[in-house]
Structure 1
Amino acid sequence: MFVDTAKVFVKGGDGGDGIVSYRRELYVPNGGPAGGDGGNGGDVIFRVDEGLRTLMDFRYQRHYKAPKGERGQTKTRHGASAEDMIVRVPPGTLLVDDDTKEVIADMTRHGQEVVIAKGGRGGRGNARFATANNPAPGIAEKGEEGQERYVLLELKVMADVGLVGFPSVGKSTLLSMVSAAQPKIGAYHFTTLSPNLGVVDVEEGQSFVMADLPGLIEGAHTGIGLGHEFLRHVERTRVIVHVVDMSASEGRDPYEDWVKINDELKLYNVKLERRPQLVVANKMDIPEAAEHLEIFKRKLEEEHGITEVIPISAASRQGVRELIYRITQMLATVPEELDEEKEENPVQERVVYTFTKQKDPNDFSIEVDEDGVFVVESNNIETMMRRFNFASDDTVLRFARTLRKMGVDQALRDRGAKDGDTVRIGKFEFEFSEKG
């Protein structure tokens, strides 16, 4: 089965918690704080593996969670950081953030890596909070939560040559004749429902990858028929081989077929209009084909200035060898990586995807709800609160000092807060106090 789209959930590992601990040794009274930091959580990293060809694995596993960091240890020892989770994807996989629809990365080269979800930082142990005024703090941070996202994966087949054309023009037959591929062949439309790849051996070690792509119909660029399921794969091919049924066996005009297919390619992506294309007239073993070919070639030259049309019969192998050599000549003149892909998708060894822009750490807002509760909204404060253990008096005092330093206390007074009023931050509620 060929799977070319998938949706998965990814989550970086949570950081390990810092701990509260004190030195307890013989002859060392008042040993001081010795709680170690927690380890960092693992990242979720997508890596290109050229040995993969489909997204089949993602059909059965849709959740990828990196391991957590270890909690801190006594004697100021750090907890171990977790190992990263490596998720292998085939070349040609496009990664898209499901929430924002932002393209995260275009995975094209073997070994290319993208960090999709960063692991959380480990929490600090109480040894980190010792000061001259508080030499034995009872404060330790919880580990930071790892990033999480739903990611869309979209595979675009990477082949040197893509066979395009209306359904039943003979693309699958041609691929089966020139390679070891065994695509399904039938006398009905849309026999091919997913791309088939075949390696075509030429001579002296020369070879190229040819893709038999599902047949197009008019309106495919809008998603009609197989639509986008087919067109996304054409974008990766270096040379387009446009197969036309010259027998006109279904009453269609070969020239009109050629025009419609090219219109669909152009409407889907204007860059495909500039892609090298070779026109192939198939089914020349049918008696009427020779007459249709003359008309076709004349219209093609008069209307578009195209003079090269290669006549073949895929079923009888007539002209197939000449076609293969001509494709090889064209590939020799086309770069391995298309210019537009180089410009849009510069390949780096490892890319870290940043989900959100950094905000001012002192940015917050205050609203008063219908019950008279003062609601403080701030992503930064809520993130900080998730890392604090409020069972410790030292932690509560530190949190109060932080809010005062950020200007939250004064802003509450400006909004009319008085002693005893309720203040809500995230899921926590506090009683406002005018005391320092």
Structure 2
Amino acid sequence: MTAAVDVIRAKRDGAVLTDAQIDWVVDGYTRGAVAEEQMAALAMAILLRGFTPGELRRWTAAMIASGTRLDLSGVGRPTVDKHSTGGVGDKITLPLAPLVAACGAAVPQLSGRGLGHTGGTLDKLESIPGWRAAVPAEAFLAQLRDVGAVVCAAGERLCPADRKLYALRDVTGTVESVPLIASSIMSKKIAEGAGALVLDVKVGSGAFMRERADARALARTMVDLGTAAGVTTVALLTDMSTPLGHAVGNALEVAESVEVLAGGGPADVVALTLALAREMLDAAGLLDADPAAALRDGRAMDRWRRLVRAQGGDPDAPLPRAPHVAHVRADTDGVVGAVDAAGIGRAAWQLGAGRARREDPVSPAAGVLLRRRPGDRVRAGDVLAELHADDPARFAGPAGWVAEAVRVGPTAPPPAPLVLERIT
């Protein structure tokens, strides 16, 4: 009979866990037979000792087997999903899901909430009056067939082992383990049932992975897991040293996403949306689809409105607006040379757009609206950014952080690519 302490000792001492050990410990933890402190010890051992590729594949399979796996075979169109590792102003899912659906694919997007300085897709969408994140299984499939996209919270039966382990890692210093990150993301995405997956792995100060080599290792690991599970998987490494777009905050990002769907919006948000859309459509086998045309001719906007209505939202309702707005101004003439994503994300979080703990509420209207981007010329006194908050007492810290994050100098920065690498 396997005992939890035997599995912990084996990994602590650098042994390769057997399939039986992995299956037993993941199942036991899901059922409560393996105690929280025992799984905490094992998670630390995994962080320090790592997994072989075989161990990681089996661990991911055991996480999937802890719950149900969705069957999307009856949807009637190719299925493809996207996952981002998270960043500042990363609103791409909002225009991307309806855009890809308008081009003929079905997008089953199970999303999450924000924690810390990176925003959550569900928090953003919940700023739309009436919109709901919970979609029952029958309605999920019906919406995929009818609208072509669903953006919602994962059900309780999908990878319950991951739900428990994710919360445990957050309080035990084991979040940084690449095998545990990869298995957490990929178990949910594989269980979701899509035939193809595109990963947007962020790199830079506003990303979880600040170094390109670390991001590349995570991307490679996840692509290999997806491919081994029979899911066509590709990853893009994308820059997150600068926030995406102008808006950072829930309702502010929804408004900017609607601008993109209307054929406008910031150039970087449009470029990344189209890059990911093309990857998703290629992975789904829709090689002739033209996502740029679907933005121009209104098909993507029509699909967005249907998606919002299908989940109880009113696409015409005014979005929440903060009652208090403060301005951060340039001290000198010059050119914006950099906008540090980490500083802007921290400011938006402190203004109320993010949460310190998963149970904390967020303000739908709070956030930062950047009025200047890298390369823009400014004069002393020009507005660099707006701070939006429900309570003016929140402005003190974020005003200083934004002033420090938006750097004005004598020369324009060299152009930097948004997509850094493609990994298949």
TM range (shorter): under 0.3
TM-score, normalising length: structure 2: 0.25
Please identify which structure carries the higher strand content.
Answer: 1
More helix by proportion, 1 or 2?
2
Structure 1 length normalisation: TM-score?
0.25
Larger radius of gyration: 1
